[in-house]
Amino acid sequence: MYQTSKVLFLYCESPLHAGAGEGGVIDLPIQREGHTNLPKIESSSLKGALRETMRKIVREPDLFAVFGPENTNDASRGALAFTDARLLLFPVRSAKGIFAWITCHWAIHKLLKDITLCPGATAPSISGLETLAEDEVQVAAANCPLIHNGELMLEEYIFKANKKDALIDGQAIGEWMANNALPAGTNQYWKDALKSSLVIVPDEAFRDFAALHTEVVTRNKIDPDTGTVEGTALFTEEYLPTDSLLYAVLTASPEFKKGGMGADGMMKIFTDNIPDIVQIGGNATIGKGLVRISKVEFLNQNTDGNGA
């Protein structure tokens, strides 16, 4: 039985390719949810990447207790469980202010729902979300740098700006995200940018931006003997862009052996040892998949998100 949990916020410091195998129009697409088409990182991919990172840091007994043994025939299992990492904020080019972080009602409410997957965890309160027309967005009540003459231009689409703060636990949503979802070591410039440049868009717009405005890169394979492209070896590869923010719920149960460590101890092994920056997904040697992790616990309705 899972007894404790944390939310892992995953901030992409470089483009991330969590591959879904061979695709159609894009040769190597990223993983997506079947029912929403939103980008995600499969829990198995996330767990595998974090396990590989921890392998170099903790001794084997702790690694096996937390993640499970190497031998799949072993009857024991790891004490930690991960959900899929779901998309919360997606960066979109803006005519003013360089870019916006967009989210939507569905993504916000999904986060609040997922926080409560573990007994004892309570989601923060949400208020002030405006009902949006298809050409309308909600932005910070003050200091939003993206607005020109009452409108925002995201990619080629123009939206009317509704200047009213949505609140999570009484904080403007951009401030709450900056204080909780961005890791403690994040530069203040980026925290201030998120506070002012978070934009709530209609659910359908969020889905469409995340479907149509990922990064698609054309790559090739070079013949080592000739130094030219090998045959018809051009291929396209999809990436979740830099500055995307995802989250996953991490839950812990007691160690699966008689007299073993409790759930809090299992969680502590992970949170005390996992680095602030990890690599997830493909193409590690060309700088892809660098992710900064924030670990947040939600214990009661008035929590400020005790980062660990």
* CB 274, CB 50: distance < 8 Å: yes
| Paired residues of 30 in beta bridges | 19
If you average pLDDT over residues 99-124, what whole number do you get?
94
In the block, tokens 């803006």 appear at 94
Pairing status of strand 198-200 against strand 99-103: parallel
- Output phi, psi for 50, to 5 deg: -70, -35
pLDDT value of residue 28: 92
Q: For residues 249 and 268, what is the distance between their CA atoms, to the nearest angstrom? A: 15
Over residues 287-301, the pLDDT tens digits come to 999 999 999 999 743
Measured CA angle at 280 (ends 274, 283), to 5 deg: 140
275 CB-near residues (< 8 Å, 6+ apart): 53, 57, 293
59 CB-near residues (< 8 Å, 6+ apart): none
Q: For residues 98 and 290, what is the distance between their CA atoms, to the nearest angstrom? A: 22
- Residue 23: both structure tokens together: 């695709």
Q: For residues 5 and 115, what is the distance between their CA atoms, to the nearest angstrom? A: 8
Measured CA angle at 250 (ends 107, 129), to 5 deg: 20
pLDDT value of residue 178: 95
* CB 129, CB 139: distance < 8 Å: no
pLDDT value of residue 259: 77
Query: How far lies 303's CA from each of 107, 172, 272, 308, in Å?
Result: 21, 15, 21, 13
Whole-number percent of the chain with pLDDT over 90:
78
Helices (H), the chain: 43-55, 60-67, 105-115, 173-180, 188-197, 203-212, 263-273
- Residue 151: both structure tokens together: 């409108």
Over residues 164-203, the pLDDT tens digits come to 999 999 999 999 999 999 987 788 999 999 999 999 999 9
If you ran DSSP here, which 8-state letter would residue 190 be given? H
Residue 244: is its pLDDT beyond 50?
A: yes
- Residue 173: both structure tokens together: 């949503």
pLDDT value of residue 285: 95
| Paired residues of 190 in beta bridges | none
Q: For residues 52 and 47, what is the distance between their CA atoms, to the nearest angstrom? A: 9
Q: How far is C-alpha 17 from the geometric centre of its chain's CA atoms? A: 13
Q: For residues 307 and 183, what is the distance between their CA atoms, to the nearest angstrom? A: 8
Confidence class of residue 232 from pLDDT cuts 50, 70 and 90? low
Which range, of 8-17, 116-125, 206-215, averages the lowest pLDDT? 116-125
* CB 31, CB 49: distance < 8 Å: no
* CB 140, CB 178: distance < 8 Å: no
* CB 78, CB 58: distance < 8 Å: no
In the block, tokens 């009484």 appear at 170
pLDDT value of residue 230: 64
Residue 150: is its pLDDT beyond 80?
A: yes
Residue 307: is its pLDDT beyond 60?
A: no
User: Taking the model in full, what pTM does it have?
Assistant: 0.92
